[in-house]
């Protein structure tokens, strides 16, 4: 945006006919209010971009005047776009370039009893594999969106999209390869497109599959025995577990103590175009989405909490699904082999799976 400069004028301006000063106290107050409101509207509509600029993240996205991003695939030629599974014109910039949001690999950890950098109320993704348990703070995932880690001898990725409050835990192996993932800076249906560092191909988190490159249309193995809960509850339940620390090698620990995306979560409005939409639930209603043999079903987290004992035992295509409520979050107790499951907002699950069923209490 260009700025105009006010230059001195040799012409004498007339005083208003009233004989008083033009900028009366009342007009000054009104002017200040208008400016504050204008900046507030712009800040809200483009809150994610404003936040990244304020935090010093590398920019590069191109936003329209309405706060929506223009397609930027041409600006990111490093990605392998072969076999693209989604409409090219709906792949949008999230406001940063490739790796502008730095994914984490092999995080430093500490015992949960020594984690004085965590508050009891901090949300975490707690994962248990082959008897080994670890908590991944969501306050860190807000700024990095992906942990590449190994737990219980299994290479995993914990993937998070702040715009969808979506969490998935996957095995990073596919075929004879083990992948490491980064954040592309691109979105589809307001959901993160991550990419693998082997083929530079794009993957959709809520779409549950690779959307370009040699694995297009394929899914990673989605794991069970993980939960979204509070750190206090996790520490009490798993006292021998570890937690990923705030020593990420990217930002100072104080960065992670801020409340990211606070304004976004205070309303039901979305920042990017999403289609299709469904109004059975508010956009940001938390659900667990499960896909079994091509059949999708959504489990509202609130309904899981109201189930007897806070536990849902259900079947999809004759296969057993078990979910539990934990401190307002949810635990993935059992997911059928070959199924894909994650936690997300309703708008995102429906956009990717419009034929979804919905679990209802009897």
- Domain limits of the chain? 73-272
Work out whether strand 123-129 and strand 132-137 pair parallel, antiparallel, or are unpaired.
antiparallel
Measured between alpha carbons, how far is 357 from 269 in angstroms, rounded to an integer?
Answer: 24
- Phi, psi dihedral angles at 29 (to 5 degrees): -60, -45
Distances (CA, A) of 283 to 62, 74, 270, 358: 25, 30, 8, 15
72 forms bridges with which residues in the sheet?
Answer: none
pLDDT at position 23: 52
- Is pLDDT at 225 greater than 90 in this prediction? yes
Distance CA 298, CA 343 (A): 10
How far is Cα 330 from Cα 320, in angstroms, rounded to an integer?
A: 17
Measured distance CA(311)–CA(317) in Å, rounded: 20
- Positive or negative: CA dihedral 243, 244, 247, 251: negative
**What's the pLDDT score for residue 24?**
61
Whether the pLDDT of residue 188 is over 60: the answer is yes
Q: 36 pLDDT exceeds 50? A: no
The pLDDT of residue 136 is 98
pLDDT band per the 50, 70, 90 thresholds, residue 77: low
Phi, psi (degrees; rounded to nearest 5) at 326: -140, 110
CB-based contact 186:76 (threshold 8 Å): yes
- Residue pair 164/344 in contact by the 8 Å Cβ criterion: yes
Give the ranges where the chain is alpha helix by DSSP (H): 25-45, 47-54, 138-144, 231-237, 262-265, 301-306, 346-352
Tokens 């082959």: give the residue.
130
- List of residues 6+ apart from 284 with CB closer than 8 A: 165, 265, 268, 345, 346, 347
Per-residue confidence (pLDDT) for residue 73, from 0 to 100:
54
Strand partners, 132: 129
What is the predicted pLDDT for the residue at 144? 98
Say what the pLDDT of residue 223 is.
96
**Rounded distance between C-alpha atoms, residue 75 and residue 73, angstroms:** 5
Average pLDDT over residues 311-330: 94
Asked if the model's pLDDT at residue 41 lies above 50, the reply is no
Percent above pLDDT 90 for the chain = 75
Name the DSSP class of 63.
Answer: B
Residue 333, pLDDT > 70, answer: yes
pLDDT at 228 > cutoff 90: yes
What confidence tens digit (pLDDT) does each residue in 261-282 have?
889 999 999 999 999 999 999 9
Q: How far apart are CA 155 and CA 170, in angstroms?
A: 9
CA distances to 14, 117, 260, 329 from 175, in Å: 80, 38, 37, 33
Position 28 scores a pLDDT of: 54
Q: Beta-carbon neighbour count of residue 263 at 10 Å?
A: 15
Residue 17 — very low, low, confident or very high, per pLDDT cuts 50/70/90? very low
pLDDT in tens, 205-223: 999 999 999 999 999 999 9
């Amino acid at each position: 945006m260009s700025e105009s400069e006010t230059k001195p004028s040799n012409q004498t301006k007339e005083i208003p006919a009233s004989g008083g000063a033009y900028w009366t106290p009342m007009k000054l107050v009104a002017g200040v209010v208008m400016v504050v409101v204008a900046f507030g509207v712009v800040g809200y509509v483009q809150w994610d971009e404003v936040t990244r600029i304020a935090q010093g993240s590398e920019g590069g996205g191109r936003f329209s005047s309405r706060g929506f991003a223009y397609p930027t695939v041409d600006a990111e030629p490093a990605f392998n776009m072969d076999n693209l599974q989604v409409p090219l014109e709906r792949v949008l910039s999230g406001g940063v370039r490739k790796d502008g949001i730095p994914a984490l690999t092999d995080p430093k950890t500490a015992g949960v009893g020594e984690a004085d950098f965590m508050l009891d109320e901090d949300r975490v993704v707690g994962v248990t594999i082959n008897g080994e348990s670890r908590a991944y703070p969501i306050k860190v995932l807000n700024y990095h969106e992906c942990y590449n880690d190994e737990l219980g001898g299994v290479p995993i990725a914990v993937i998070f999209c702040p715009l969808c409050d979506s969490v998935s835990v996957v095995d990073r192996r596919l075929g004879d390869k083990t992948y490491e993932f980064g954040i592309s800076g691109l979105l589809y249906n307001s959901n993160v497109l991550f990419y693998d560092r082997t083929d530079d191909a794009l993957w959709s988190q809520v779409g549950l599959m690779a959307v370009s490159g040699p694995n297009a249309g394929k899914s990673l193995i989605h794991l069970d025995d993980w939960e979204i809960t509070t750190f206090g509850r996790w520490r009490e339940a798993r006292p021998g577990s570890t937690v990923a620390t705030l020593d990420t090698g990217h930002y100072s620990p104080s960065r992670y103590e801020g409340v990211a995306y606070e304004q976004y979560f205070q309303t039901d409005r979305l920042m990017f175009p999403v289609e299709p939409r469904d109004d059975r639930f508010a956009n940001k209603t938390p659900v667990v989405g499960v896909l079994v043999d091509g059949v999708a079903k959504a489990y509202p987290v609130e309904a899981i909490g109201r189930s007897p004992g806070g536990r849902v035992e259900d079947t999809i295509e004759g296969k057993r699904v078990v979910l539990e409520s934990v401190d307002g979050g949810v635990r993935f107790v059992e997911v059928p082999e070959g199924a894909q499951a994650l936690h997300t907002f309703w708008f995102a699950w429906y956009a990717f799976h419009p034929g979804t069923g919905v679990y209802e209490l009897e």
